[in-house]
Structure 1
Amino acid sequence: MRLARGQLGRSSADWRWGAALALFLFAFAGLSSGVTLTERPEVAQSGLLTKAYYSLGLFVVGGLEIGTPAEGPLLARCLLWIAYFGAPILTASAVAEALARILSPRPWQLRRIHHHVVIVGTGAMTDSYLRVLRRHEPRRPVVVVDERIDVIRRQELQQTFNATVVTGDITHEFLITALRLHRASKVVLLGESDFQSYEAASRMLTKYPRLAGRIVLRCHNLRFMRALQDTAVARQCLTFNSYQLAAAGLVRDHLIDHFHQTSERDAVVIAGFGRFGQTTLEELQAHAQREIATVALIDSDAARRLLVAEEQRRIGGSYRREILEGDISHPEVWHQLDNVLDLSIGSPTVILGTGNIEENLRAALWIKGKYPNALVFSRTTDASQLALQVGAEHDINYFSIRQLVEDNIPVEWLS
């Protein structure tokens, strides 16, 4: 179902009006040029209004009452024959489309829908949110919106999650109105464009102020999200970053207890200082700063990323911090780490959180083999049978970003 500002049927209506006008002019020109009809030969000598009347009649009954072109100029007869065939076909196509709209269940669902959840975006985060939602609210009406949705993806959302799928631009007022957001329980903006998500939220809140506190907005860019955090739009939305949500779950559910069980202050190595690494360090500072003695950050662009994080006043603390520039696949970076931090002492925590899953796995096995006392965490994209087997064999903790996100979606975001 296609819904956007003025686009619901407008494109088809535009060409039909043009075609109807052309066919009418063809018929009128043919009759005005002296073409006689087998059943109504007198029409050729009639006035202009009569010719116009019979030209319009072709759209309703075709030429059944007036017969077919018999005599007259060849070009005029050709134009009239085009109108004879084209006018009924055009009428039939318009009637068929109207019936299809009336009989289609989707538009009617939107007309009567209420207490529903509207999800914008069809990426992986949409699946994660829907899985959690369906565990808690199996019967909650759901509408999924995106600008482009292929047929297979549409069927997957409809059949797997029982969602109504709508194609359109969420920033268009027509679509915002059609989605009946004034009756929605939640609006979840999970699109790929951060700016468009904030723009959509702004338009929704302007039109429906009661949505304040009911819009969940995912922002990919941490820097952009923090820059807007003091704006009116952000204050009225529940904003989050997927990596931030995952990092909070990792620290709260897996690291805090470990820190409490060790007698000495802990050493933590964070390999990969992108969005996940930065938010992991923030969560450690917020919830376990007193438990940490040293944090070593490893990344090929660690210094610049640390400056960006410090610019946003997210990184601080009284612990010792070591910055190591390099890729975890390069042995030199681990030699540098040995020079500044002895991982053989105590029970250090090593978090391999880069986006390179293979290197995370390889490095985790190497570190655990060299430092069996270390608590090693290795990141995967999704749940992995291989990672679970290897982890069980070598005492390595594997975590999936997607699973951490699903485990930490607050219940109040669901309905």
Structure 2
Amino acid sequence: MLSPQTLRKQLTILSELSEKQPGYYYIHGYFCGLACAPTLIKPSQWLPALLGDIHFESESQLTLNDALFQLYNQIMDEALNRCVTIPAQCKLSKKDIKVSLAEQQPLPQWCLGVLDSFEWIETDILTPDEFDIFADSEKRVLAFTSWQNIRSYCRWAGDEWERHALLERRMLGGSLEELIDVLRFGGLDDDNTDFDDDFVGENAMLMAFDEQVSESIDEILATDSPKVIDLIDTILEGFEAAMGPGFVEQNTGHFWLIHETRNYMLLRQKRAGLNFKNGNADKAIEELQTLLRLNPNDNQAVRFSLINMLICKGRWDQLQALLKQFDEPSLPVLGGKALLAYHRDPKGEAAAKAKRALLKANKYVVKYLTGQKQVKHFEGMYSPGSAEEAELYILEYGKEAWRSVDGSLFWLRAS
């Protein structure tokens, strides 16, 4: 698994060897656009369209393709959770929007990649409602390909167009996530997921508050001191006041699709983790269960920590329901199934089968659970079966879960 820095470096080299020589941000955007397509576009189709011919100068350079497919798989995995992560460098400067949208800047390059991959979407087979959502997303992405385009897109705002351009940029990822939800998962059944033009006006207070606190969010999220809980409480109260009456009830079920609620949800997830580490597991569990109600698709992956917290508190019936809701081959789910089966019958065949599935999925997990290996520098990226996946499992309270069940670690190590 390549680190983000190595990944970008290798993609740059691969691009230089190719006929079309797309930049990193263009490639990232291209894959995000592919993720919106209702059917899978095969690599044999998109690879020549993206790179053209590639002239490898040595056999060792063939491994550069691994970087390309790592990024592709990463973005497709995010799409399965209806999530679009735009690179942090794709910013719209408050001081100089024009400079941010110069031709070779990250944001317009990313948007051009999205637009070019949209060519794979067969619009003639979309329903009228699907086409309208696609067209709206396409227009928003197109707006950020140049200063002239964003100025035209926000011309309705008059002298306030720059402020609204910044708000539109914050909605860019959510717009693609809605498109993924609609085209890939049939999300049109939910009438509340539409991003209409009235959203900006009706939720101006929420947008303004989110913009006001957004610069301090990263620092708070990086802090592990329980003292920050009081600050989080204060900010969350501000968010809820800005949302106004009826907002939560109206938008429950798709909070993550509203970009201005994401910091709110991330802060609640952080507060849950701090409460758990500070001995308030019941508060933490309640917090994560609330987040799942607000966003059942769980783009934040709160289910993984919640699984282990429920085990720590011995809430086996709630654990069973959660594992049924998210029946997937992820490491936390497999670990939860193994501990649930062990709790019910340590010597039973169901427990033995669940243990085999867990160990087959990740050969490193036992060493991390037993302390033979320690988490050192987890960088936020992993592949199934890797040591990084096992490290992430530990960070999501996997060790606490196994230690809370008497005899489970001895059973896991036994052949």
TM-score range, shorter chain: under 0.3
Q: Which protein has the bigger helix share?
A: 2
> Normalising by the residue count of structure 1, what TM-score does the alignment of the two structures yield?
0.28
For the pair shown, the structure with the greater C-alpha radius of gyration is 1
Name whichever structure is richer in strand by fraction.
Answer: 1
